[in-house]
Chains A and B, each alone.
Chain A
């Protein structure tokens, strides 16, 4: 089956990003297709390259990057929510005159249309949030 996932909360603050990761892994292990994982609201903060969580705990962003690489997952950060919260890729940084960018590998920034498209084309949409 073709599934999509929506993550509405940031890493560590809420269990959403972890639950979504575990669910996505399980879905892939069962042979399902995960069309897209979309990050909205504070969920965009999962896409920061700059987090330094404690050594003895999980690095949520890196877990998502690794999963995306292994399974060619489409991890999409919502541009409107990202701009509000300061998650920015190289092109956007240049365009907006910011002195840096911070998007983690494996993620791409795009519009809300990608969420709607996922809703239209997937057979199931599962939402993790607060």
Chain B
């Protein structure tokens, strides 16, 4: 009889989850609270993809300094995602370029996709969470 840790049946289903981030940080709470979902969700070992598009690309902009607005700077947390096995980070090319940004401006390594590639990626998912 297999030991519990050898029994694959215990792991449960693995579904493809996508978290779609479209909002800038700080002006609203969506960026912070969606990141909290991703961190908690990591324990469930699902197949996770994070997408940053529209103003969501601003969430991972380098050099955020929030001291003068009196709120917590949570951008360092994106660097911790790798440690949580959340490694599939995608940024939409058009969103980045229209905001005058490049990957050099971002705090984490990401994969750039254009809108059509992103549309296909979205179709591959099983659960899409928007905040």
Q: Which of A104-130 contact B (CB under 8 A)?
A: 111-113, 115-117, 119-120, 125, 127, 129
Contact of B131 among A8, A116, A120 (CB under 8 A): A8
Counting chain A CB atoms within 10 Å of each CB, the highest count among B12, B29, B40, B44 belongs to B40
B residues less than 8 Å from A113 (CB atoms): 40-41, 43-44
CA distance in complex: A129, B44 (Å): 24
10 tightest A-B CB contacts, nearest first: A112-B40, A119-B127, A116-B41, A116-B44, A112-B37, A125-B127, A120-B15, A127-B130, A41-B33, A120-B13
Q: Does A116 lie within 8 Å of B130, measured CB to CB? A: no
- Chain A, residue nearest B42 (CB): A116
Q: Closest residue of chain B to A122, judged by CB?
A: B127
Which residues in A have some Cβ–Cβ distance to B below 8 Å? Answer: 6, 8, 40-41, 80-81, 111-113, 115-117, 119-120, 125, 127, 129
Cβ distance B49 to chain A, nearest Cβ, rounded Å:
13
Report if B63 contacts A (CB, 8 A). Answer: no
A129 & B40 in contact (Cβ 8 Å cutoff)? no
B30 at the interface (CB under 8 A from A): yes
Identify whether the interface residues of B are mostly helix, strand, loop, or mixed. Answer: mixed
Q: Which residues of A contact B55 (CB under 8 A)?
A: none
A125 vs B15: C-alpha distance when bound (angstroms): 13
B46 at the interface (CB under 8 A from A): yes
Residue in B closest to A112 when the chains form the complex, CB atoms: B40
5 contacts between A and B (CB under 8 A): A40-B131, A116-B40, A125-B127, A125-B128, A129-B130
Q: Does B129 sit at the interface, judged by CB under 8 A? A: yes
Contacts of B37 in A (CB 8 A): 40, 112, 115-116
Q: Give chain A nearest CB distance to B25 CB in angstroms.
A: 14
